[in-house]
Amino acid sequence: MRALIVTAAALAALTPVMALVVRRRCVLLDVSGPSMLPTYRDGDRLLAARLPIRLVRRGTVVAIGMQPASDLFAANDITPGRPLPTCMVKRVAALPGEQMPDPLLATAEVPPRHLFVLGDNREASYDSRHMGPVPFARLSGVVLCRIRSRGSAHVSTPGSSSESSF
């Protein structure tokens, strides 16, 4: 009985610490706009984690912090009546030193400490084709899973059958 009380007390003491760690490492994102169709739809809620950049690979879906004016006004993903977005969700298309996957930039390499990102819906995406390679410093997190899809409450992870890839 005494061990059970000690275990419960230890768990109660660790819970605030664990919550703080999760809060500092995880980010909830709401998708706004069509740039990541068909992978993510307007209204989807995503869970992203702040991970070391060395874990980011080509094909990884990332959240990128937006620059105050330049990205906000150029992005097609702004929906009237909604708060302005603080992050963009895009897929990593090229890593530092790799060729940029754009016919107009075919001879250019991604600079050190930068990523080349694209939306899955190229026609409706504001991405590295418009703003150039994104510095590592703007990376807000790596998308781990969809927590809620518009109109439902299911969880899916990147790479499931409903999601596209490069």
Q: Kindly calculate the radius of gyration of the chain based on its CA atoms and give it in whole angstroms.
A: 19
d(C-alpha 80, C-alpha 76), whole Å: 11
User: Are 42 and 150 within 8 A, CB to CB?
Assistant: yes
In a domain, 156, yes or no: no
State yes or no: is 70 an active-site residue. Answer: no
In a domain, 90, yes or no: yes
In a domain, 160, yes or no: no
State yes or no: is 35 an active-site residue. Answer: yes
User: Are 112 and 97 within 8 A, CB to CB?
Assistant: yes
The confidence score (pLDDT) of residue 166 equals 26
The Cβ of residue 31 has, within 10 Å, a number of other Cβ atoms equal to: 23
pLDDT digits (tens, 9 = 90+) for 9-51: 655 665 665 555 566 788 899 998 899 999 999 999 999 999 9
What CATH number does residue 86 fall under?
2.10.109.10
Total domains, the chain: 1
Q: Which of 32, 90, 125, 128 is catalytic?
A: 90
In a domain, 105, yes or no: yes
Q: Which of 32, 35, 125, 128 is catalytic?
A: 35
pLDDT digits (tens, 9 = 90+) for 111-148: 999 999 999 999 999 999 988 999 999 999 999 999 98
User: Are 131 and 88 within 8 A, CB to CB?
Assistant: no
Q: Is the peptide bond before 38 cis (omega within 30 degrees of 0)?
A: yes
In a domain, 65, yes or no: yes
In a domain, 154, yes or no: no
pLDDT band at 163 (very low <50, low <70, confident <90, very high): very low
The confidence score (pLDDT) of residue 165 equals 30
Q: Considering the entire predicted model, what is its pTM?
A: 0.72
In a domain, 3, yes or no: no
For residue 99, list its beta bridge partners. Answer: 109
In a domain, 7, yes or no: no
The confidence score (pLDDT) of residue 92 equals 97
Q: Which domain holds residue 111?
A: 26-148
